[in-house]
Amino acid sequence: MLKFILRRFGASIGVLFAASVLLYVLVINSGDPLKDLRESNAENRDLLIERRVEYMNLDMPWYQRYLDWLIGVGKCFKLECDLGTNRSGVEVNSLLALAASSTLRLVLLATVIALVLGILIGVLTAVRQYSGLDYGVTFMTFLFFSLPIFWAAVLLKEYLAIGYNDWIRDPSFTPVQLIVTGLIVGFLMQVFLAGSTRRRIITFAATAIFVAVALPTLTALDFYRNPQLGYIGVAVLTFVFALGATAAAAGLKDQRVLRPALITAALASVLQIVLVNVFIYYINWWIIIAGGILAVVIPYFIGRAMGGRRASLAAGVAAATGFVGAGLTVVDHLFRNWDNFLAMKPRPISTIGSQTPNFGGNFWETVLDQGTQLLLPTLVLTLVSLASYSRYTRSSMLEVNEQDYIRTARSKGLAERTVIFRHAFRNALIPIATIAAFDFAGLIGGAVITESVFGWKGMGELFRTGLDQVDPAPVMAFFLVTGTAAILFNLLADIFYAILDPRIRV
């Protein structure tokens, strides 16, 4: 495996070098970088031309300019990258850092959400093949996949941003809205849960009535402007997740999995009260990251210690419970600050930019500001990527379900959940690893259309501006990041194959 990795890495360096030369030549020959100044009537035109020639080294042959750039890239191995300056004399290093941080915030969240939801939907539709749920999900995923991004972005701006901002000033529902919402949610729920005709009717009626009663009740409690989970709400939801995850993974009768999950839920419920002052007065991103790691690591070892022969499964369920409990605690504190955030920003969902200029809120209010700015572009990218992940997962699961070892597992009397998640799901993830790796690497390059529509100054904007201005420095910085990411994630996908299936050795 090591030999394969080294061989792949060496070949990738050669590909990067050849591609960089080709891209550099194409960019510098795509136009005249001095065109705007040659047509200018400014009195200091000659001085401006002289400065731009100096900034872009236009008095040197192209191969020498490229060699200077390559030497600057070589300094990255010493953590001293020198990517030159753009045509205005601004260091490309600083431009790249700002663009990469902006794009990573957008892309990472969208990719993770699309990957998780896509895999879950794909597994569910494969298990329920040719059902109403399967047909409905297939229709919706292809609909989302075929939507033009710019058109979907405009629709989200109109209804999810402008419409919501108008509604949140005085949240209310008309009787027609309650009836229509109840009918739609009831229909979707009966499709999702399936069952006999009688069960579908009961599910539909119960869900429709619940929605029609819950929405005005939450309005009366002012939940939409002042939401609260509270200590009890976080604890209840954490325990519900622990029971649900145990039931899905092993069944509630398996005490070796159930006990660590419940202990983790209890621990998360207690810690949210004990650490309340930390979350109010001392919170920062490093504390959240450290807390998230501990919320996974500690329950993992609890599950390993108490799981016996089911140690791996118990550790996984306990770790997931700990992570969800920690996440619910964070959500609760965001809810607690929502009313103050609305007071500072009455129209919370913005349609342009990655954050509100000169926003002066506390940590939680700043997170809410950046989160609401992320909402629309993240949702657009998620909807587009969701279709690919769900369809590939579904087809992969269906293919794996036809294998002999799956039939053997069922003939041995194993529970269906064990057959699906322990035997079929793991092997079905192998092709998904390739798709996810290339998708994430591609999106790191910047969702150019999405960033343009929502006014994000990310990698796509950096690339487009460099091309428009016939400026190779920003374009080559973009290439360096995206090309390296593509190679790195392709290599990680190969390694992930061996983790998923130890029989795979290249």
- In this prediction, residue 446 carries a pLDDT of 54
Nearest-angstrom CA–CA distance, 429 and 500 = 8
Higher pLDDT, 493 or 359: 359
Nearest-angstrom CA–CA distance, 256 and 303 = 8
**Measured CA distances, 251 to 82, 143, 254, 386 (Å):** 57, 36, 6, 29
- In this prediction, residue 305 carries a pLDDT of 92
Decide if pLDDT at 498 tops 80.
no
How confident is the model over 27-36, as a mean pLDDT?
A: 86
Burial classification of residue 8, based on how many CB atoms lie within 10 Å of its CB (0-12 exposed, 13-18 middle, 19 or more buried): middle
- In this prediction, residue 491 carries a pLDDT of 74
Side chain identity at residue 172, one-letter code? S
Distance of CA 186 to the CA centre of its chain: 29
Question: DSSP character for 469?
Answer: T
- In this prediction, residue 294 carries a pLDDT of 94
- In this prediction, residue 442 carries a pLDDT of 65
The phi, psi pair for 324, rounded to 5°, reads -65, -40
Burial classification of residue 277, based on how many CB atoms lie within 10 Å of its CB (0-12 exposed, 13-18 middle, 19 or more buried): exposed
The phi, psi pair for 85, rounded to 5°, reads -125, 155
The phi, psi pair for 402, rounded to 5°, reads -90, 0
- In this prediction, residue 271 carries a pLDDT of 92
Written as six digits, the tokens of 15 are 């590909």
pLDDT tens profile 388-429: 888 888 888 888 888 888 888 888 887 777 788 777 887 787
Nearest-angstrom CA–CA distance, 495 and 475 = 30
pLDDT tens profile 428-455: 877 787 777 777 766 666 567 787 788 8
Strand-pair partners of 85: 91
Written as six digits, the tokens of 435 are 């798709």
Half-sphere exposure of 206 (CA within 13 A, CB side): 9
Q: Which of 161, 173, 166, 169 is nearest to 218 (CA)?
A: 173
Task: Say whether 105 sits in a helix, a strand or coil.
Answer: helix
Side chain identity at residue 221, one-letter code? L
Written as six digits, the tokens of 439 are 């998708």
Q: Scanning the structure block, which residue is given the tokens 């487009």?
A: 464
CB-based contact 307:260 (threshold 8 Å): yes
pTM of the model: 0.79
- In this prediction, residue 322 carries a pLDDT of 95
Nearest-angstrom CA–CA distance, 485 and 487 = 5
CA-angle at 161, arms to 157 and 164, nearest 5°: 140
Nearest-angstrom CA–CA distance, 85 and 57 = 10
Nearest-angstrom CA–CA distance, 428 and 430 = 6
CB-based contact 494:8 (threshold 8 Å): yes
Higher pLDDT, 489 or 165: 165
Task: Say whether 85 sits in a helix, a strand or coil.
Answer: strand
Decide if pLDDT at 211 tops 90.
yes
Decide if pLDDT at 493 tops 80.
no
Q: Which of 45-49, 156-160, 431-435 has the lowest mean pLDDT?
A: 431-435
Nearest-angstrom CA–CA distance, 494 and 241 = 33
Contacts of residue 169, defined as CB under 8 A and 6 or more positions apart, other chains included, come to 346
Q: Scanning the structure block, which residue is given the tokens 């260091």?
A: 91
Q: Which of 371, 325, 362, 324 is nearest to 344 (CA)?
A: 362
Q: Per-domain residue ranges for the chain?
A: 2-94
Nearest-angstrom CA–CA distance, 55 and 58 = 8
Decide if pLDDT at 505 tops 60.
no
Decide if pLDDT at 178 tops 60.
yes
The pLDDT confidence band at residue 503, using thresholds 50, 70 and 90, is low
Side chain identity at residue 150, one-letter code? F
CB-based contact 122:358 (threshold 8 Å): no
Q: Which of 27, 147, 11, 12 is nearest to 475 (CA)?
A: 27
Helix or strand holding residue 295 (H, E): helix 285-306
Q: Which of 505, 496, 385 is nearest to 433 (CA)?
A: 496
Contacts of residue 486, defined as CB under 8 A and 6 or more positions apart, other chains included, come to 438, 441, 442
The phi, psi pair for 331, rounded to 5°, reads -60, -40
Helix or strand holding residue 221 (H, E): none
Nearest-angstrom CA–CA distance, 472 and 33 = 10
Task: Say whether 263 sits in a helix, a strand or coil.
Answer: helix
Q: Which of 367, 307, 314 is nearest to 338 (CA)?
A: 367
